[in-house]
Amino acid sequence: MDLVIRATVVFFFVFLVTRVVGRRELSQLEPFDLILLVVVGDLVQQGVTQSDESVTGALIVIATIALLSIAVSWISFRWRPIRVITEGEPIVLVQDGQPIERNMRRQRITLEDIQEEARQAQIDSVADLRWAILEDGGRISCIPR
Amino acid sequence: MAGQAAGPWVRRALLACMAALPLLALLGVFGQHPSTSTAASPAASFSVTAPTRLRSGLIFQVRVKVLARREIKQLQLDFAEGWWESMSVNSIVPEPSNENSHDGQVVLSYGDLPAGKALVVWIYFQANPTNVGERREDVALLDGARQLARVHRSLTIFP
């Protein structure tokens, strides 16, 4: 019983951490983010399974995490307010060539980040962007004028 | 077309199978919720509290309580072989004055227990990762060579 409860608590806490860390960091996986992922992975294992070395325990934890993922995904699909919490909404970073500083600051995205994404989309400069939008998954979509 | 129609139902059936595992775990099927076995005689009442189901690697506590109704001059606790086979013993509190073995049984001696007094013994075990299956875990309360009470237990360890 305790195994299921620990897995559930850790699932929602890790989910909270991913929301707090920010979508951009999760999509980019900079060295610091890699450290975070490795450390979290190790600590989660210790906290969830503790001294349990059984195959049964591993199956219970995997099934619990998988079911919670499916449940969260289904609830998000059915109710839009929940979807906004679990997945977030696209955020406009540039509109008609004008960077929106407030949104960039909140997402910790620099002008250089947007310029890099624009170049990858074959767009010369930020001024040539109609829209730059930070998508739910952390990717920046660039739409030219 | 028939295969496409059956697809969601196959997925739902697999999902139900997967959901069964945490559900059974929540109900305590895979351990390690403790249960208490009791036995009584004119000389003493006797109880053993320990899990009946475990998963390998888990640390667990066994609590043995003896309440003397009359004086027990040579109190001994006789544990079946199943308690010790492929188990790590972390500690026994209080430690017995003597430890013996006969026919695979392990006997812990605690000396004199006056009438009306209680003895509580805590033993901390860890199931070794290779320890799998069902084991007999009887415990007998003895006064010297004479058996006063016995509880019959078993332990199932999941792989």
Where along chain A do its domains lie?
A: 2-87, 91-144
Is there a single domain that holds both residue B12 and residue B42? no
Which of these CATH numbers, 3.30.450.40, 3.20.20.100, 3.30.70.20, 3.30.240.20, describes A91-144? Answer: 3.30.240.20
Q: Are B18 and A67 an interchain contact pair (Cβ–Cβ within 8 Å)?
A: yes
Amino acid letter for position B71: E
Number of structural domains in chain B: 2
pLDDT per residue as tens, chain B (159 positions): 555 667 788 888 888 998 999 999 998 888 788 999 999 999 999 999 999 999 988 899 999 999 999 999 999 999 999 999 989 999 999 999 999 998 889 999 999 999 999 999 999 999 998 888 999 999 999 998 899 999 999 999 999
Is there a single domain that holds both residue B8 and residue B66? no
pLDDT of residue A51: 78
Is there a single domain that holds both residue B48 and residue B78? yes
Is there a single domain that holds both residue B135 and residue B152? yes
CA angle, A107 then A109 then A16, to 5°: 30
pLDDT tens digit sequence for A107-116: 888 899 899 8
Question: How close is the nearest chain B Cα to the Cα of A104, in Å?
Answer: 41
Which residue of A2, A9, A46, A53 is the best one to mutate when testing the B interface, meaning the one whose CB has the most B CBs within 10 A? A53
Question: How close is the nearest chain A Cα to the Cα of B76, in Å?
Answer: 32
Is there a single domain that holds both residue B44 and residue B115? yes
Q: Which residues of A, range 66-85, sit inside 8 Å of B by Cβ?
A: 66-67, 70
Is there a single domain that holds both residue B65 and residue B135? yes
CB-based contact (8 Å) between A28 and chain B? no
Q: Is the ipTM of this complex over 0.90?
A: no
Is there a single domain that holds both residue B78 and residue B150? yes
Q: At B124, which CATH number?
A: 2.60.40.10
Is there a single domain that holds both residue B60 and residue B109? yes
CB-based contact (8 Å) between B129 and chain A? yes
CB-based contact (8 Å) between B124 and chain A? no
Question: Prior bond to B32 cis, omega within 30?
Answer: yes
Q: Which of A51, A52, A60 sits opposite B21 (nearest CB)?
A: A60
Q: What percent of chain A has pLDDT over 90?
A: 31
CB of B144 closer than 8 Å to CB of B73? yes
Range of the domain at B21: 1-29
Is there a single domain that holds both residue B13 and residue B45? no
Q: Which residues contact B140 (CB under 8 A, 6 or more apart)?
A: B77, B78, B147, B149, B150, B151
Is there a single domain that holds both residue B24 and residue B82? no
Q: Which residues on adjacent β-strands are paired with residue B45?
A: B40, B67
CB-based contact (8 Å) between A4 and chain B? yes
CB-based contact (8 Å) between B6 and chain A? no
Residues (pLDDT < 50) of chain A are none
β-strands B44-51, B59-68: how paired? antiparallel
Integer Cα distance of A57 and B56 in angstroms = 9
CB-based contact (8 Å) between B27 and chain A? yes
Integer Cα distance of B122 and B27 in angstroms = 26
Q: Which of A1, A51, A66 sits opposite B58 (nearest CB)?
A: A51
CB-based contact (8 Å) between A111 and chain B? no
Is there a single domain that holds both residue B3 and residue B55? no
Is there a single domain that holds both residue B64 and residue B137? yes
Q: Which residues contact B38 (CB under 8 A, 6 or more apart)?
A: B45, B46, B47, B48, B151
